[in-house]
Amino acid sequence: MRPFQSLQGTKGAGGAFAVAVRAALAVAVVVGAGGAARAGEWSVEVQPMFMEIYGHDQHVVTVHRVDPDARFDDKTAVRLDTDSELQYRTEIRWVRPSWTWGLDFLWVRAAQNASPLTAASSGSDEVVFEVADQGFTSTGPSEVLFYNVLEDTTIESWTLDLYGLKTVAETPNSALRLQLGIRTADFDNDYRAVVGIRDAVGARLDASSNYDRMHGPLVGLAGEVRWGKNTLEGYLGQSVVIGSVQLTGQSRLFTGPFDFAEGFVPAFFSDELLRSEQDVAIPITDVRLKWSRNLGEHLAYGAGVHASAWWDVPVPPGVVPGPGADEDLLENTLVFVGVLGSVKYTF
């Protein structure tokens, strides 16, 4: 990621997510599963998934280059970049005569970072690093500004689904199934950073959104079609999870140098803390499209795409720059998009 990006630069996945939803819905409604599973049959499926997360590359610093004589202020935004990482999804199913019962678990953890940033005035201008409700100014070459994202700036989420699948339409090579279930979910987001004037003064910034376990209903459509040893599966699901979130933002000013060595404690002289708790109801939309091929009677492998949208998620306060922004409570819509591999064992 470039350390400076346009103030308007954000990631967006709305169009791709909408296309994926339409594709999965088409498969789920038009076709279905070929080769009915036998009653009493169990299956275990593991899906490694290379995932991107969109919608939460927060604007964390505004860099001002000010010419006092011309009254000119050139502003540039610095944003977090969410890493693409390997995630895992696991599904277990048990086929019964009337219903298929299942358990689905998806775990996501990704680090967020920004390139270390330093700048100083040339002497004829001023440079300002602005964060939430405060800024640090360099008026000469000896005053070097710095900004660093610290370890443990992460996004973590997981969902656990317990559900039943009921066949509502079936042909010899296809089936359409209705999914009804309960979803348990968790989401945590932490932001850690330090900003200031090197060896003089600075601020340690810590913000988090920590959720209690959330629970809610899950409904979906699942369809499959088979030709030969191949199967194409589509899934579209919707849930709403209900719970509470604790939002925390903290800014601690310090004097002297900041040492990035583990265990270092700066000379803090000021501590501002915002803590808020609120009830939440978060809609989550899931879409999945997967091709698989049988290897004998018990083993199958495959590949596909998965996407989830978490709508209007309260995120850590005191992150976005601006006057009074240390108390702003924000919401973002997060879109998780992954390319997956699949191994399934049936017994």
pLDDT band at 37 (very low <50, low <70, confident <90, very high): low
Q: How far is CA 101 from CA 28, 34, 86, 98, 263, in A?
A: 18, 18, 27, 10, 49
pLDDT more than 90, % of the chain: 76
| Confidence label for 259 from pLDDT (cuts 50, 70 and 90) | confident
Q: Is the pLDDT of residue 15 over 80?
A: no
Q: Which of 7, 120, 122, 105 is nearest to 62 (CA)?
A: 7
Q: Is the pLDDT of residue 10 over 90?
A: no
Residue 80 has pLDDT above 50, yes or no: yes
Check the CA dihedral 226-229-230-234 and report its sign: positive
In this predicted model, which residue has the larger pLDDT, 330 or 339? 339
Does the CA dihedral 117-119-125-129 come out positive or negative? positive
With a cut of 80, say whether residue 110 has pLDDT above it: yes
Q: What is the mean pLDDT of residues 54-70?
A: 90
Global pTM exceeds 0.95: no
Task: For residues 56-84, give the mean pLDDT.
Answer: 90
**Residue 69 tokens, joined:** 């004589």
Residue 82: pLDDT over 90: yes
Instruction: Look at residues 150, 149, 176, 172 and name the one whose alpha carbon lies nearest to residue 233.
Output: 176
CA dihedral 40→37→175→177, nearest 10 degrees, is 30
pLDDT at 188: 96
Rounded to an integer, the average pLDDT of 188-209 is 96
pLDDT for 36: 53
- Domains defined for the chain, CATH in brackets: 14-57+90-117+147-346 (2.40.128)
Give the whole-angstrom CA distance, residue 189 versus residue 334: 12
- The span from the CA of 273 to the CA of 325, in Å, is 13
Is the pLDDT at 17 greater than 90, yes or no? no
Spatial CA neighbour of 37 closest among 95, 99, 117 = 95
Question: Is residue 333's pLDDT more than 70?
Answer: yes
Tell me the C-alpha distance between 299 and 179, whole Å: 24
What are 299's two structure tokens? 């083993």
The pLDDT assigned to 318 comes to: 86
Please state, in angstroms and rounded to a whole number, the distance separating the CA atoms of residues 46 and 281. 29
Query: In percent, how much of the chain has pLDDT > 70?
Result: 89
> Which phi and psi (to 5°) does residue 327 adopt?
-115, 5
Rounded to whole angstroms, the Cα distance separating 6 from 79 reads 9
Average pLDDT over residues 325-334: 85
d(CA 125, CA 19) in angstroms, rounded, equals 48
